[in-house]
Amino acid sequence: MSKSIGNYTKHAKIWDWGGYDRTKEFEFWLKLAKKYGKNVLSPMAAIGEASAYLAQNEFKVTASDITKEMVEEGRKRYGDITDLKFIQSDVCDFNLSEKSYDFAFVGTTDLHHLQTIDDIRKALSCIYQHLRSEGGLGLELWYPSKESWKSPKRVFHSLKSKDDNKIKVWKEAETEYNSENQKINISQAVYIQNEDKTDSFIHEFELQLYSRNTLLQTLSECGYYLKAEYGGYLFETWSPNSSKWIVEVIKK
CATH number at residue 162: 2.20.25
**Closest of 13, 3, 158 to residue 74, by C-alpha:** 13
Q: What is the C-alpha R_g of the chain?
A: 18
Q: Does a structural domain hold residue 33?
A: yes
- pLDDT value of position 238: 98
Q: Is the pLDDT of residue 4 over 50?
A: no
- List, for residues 178-192, the tens digit of each pLDDT value: 999 999 999 999 999
Element holding 246 (H helix, E strand): strand 245-251
Q: Are residues 214 and 201 in the same domain?
A: no
Q: Does a structural domain hold residue 104?
A: yes
- pLDDT value of position 163: 66
Q: Is the pLDDT of residue 125 over 90?
A: yes
Q: Are residues 124 and 242 in the same domain?
A: yes
- List, for residues 55-72, the tens digit of each pLDDT value: 999 999 999 999 999 999
Q: Does a structural domain hold residue 241?
A: yes
* More confident position, 166 or 58: 58
The chain-wide mean pLDDT, for the chain, equals 94
Q: Are residues 46 and 116 in the same domain?
A: yes
Residue 194's pLDDT band, with cuts at 50, 70 and 90, is confident
Burial of 134 (0-12, 13-18, 19+ CB in 10 A): exposed
Q: Is the pLDDT of residue 234 over 80?
A: yes
Q: Are residues 129 and 161 in the same domain?
A: no
Q: Are residues 10 and 63 in the same domain?
A: yes
Q: Does a structural domain hold residue 130?
A: yes
78: domain range? 6-143+210-251
Q: Does a structural domain hold residue 32?
A: yes
Mean pLDDT along residues 223-228: 98
Q: Are residues 37 and 160 in the same domain?
A: no
- Determine if the pTM surpasses 0.75: yes
**Closest of 75, 208, 58 to residue 142, by C-alpha:** 208
Q: Do residues 10 and 190 make contact, with C-beta atoms less than 8 angstroms apart?
A: yes
Q: Does a structural domain hold residue 105?
A: yes
Q: Poorest-confidence range of 13-17, 98-102, 240-244?
A: 13-17
DSSP class of residue 162 equals B
Q: Are residues 64 and 168 in the same domain?
A: no
Give the amino acid at 145. S
Mean pLDDT along residues 147-154: 96
Q: Is the pLDDT of residue 52 over 50?
A: yes
Burial of 40 (0-12, 13-18, 19+ CB in 10 A): buried
Domain of 239: which CATH number? 3.40.50.150
Q: Are residues 114 and 180 in the same domain?
A: no
Mean pLDDT along residues 89-116: 97
Number of domains observed in the structure of the chain: 2
Q: Does a structural domain hold residue 137?
A: yes
Mean pLDDT along residues 209-213: 98
Q: Are residues 219 and 95 in the same domain?
A: yes
Q: Are residues 164 and 228 in the same domain?
A: no
Q: Are residues 130 and 158 in the same domain?
A: no
Q: Are residues 167 and 227 in the same domain?
A: no
- pLDDT value of position 166: 81
- pLDDT value of position 164: 60
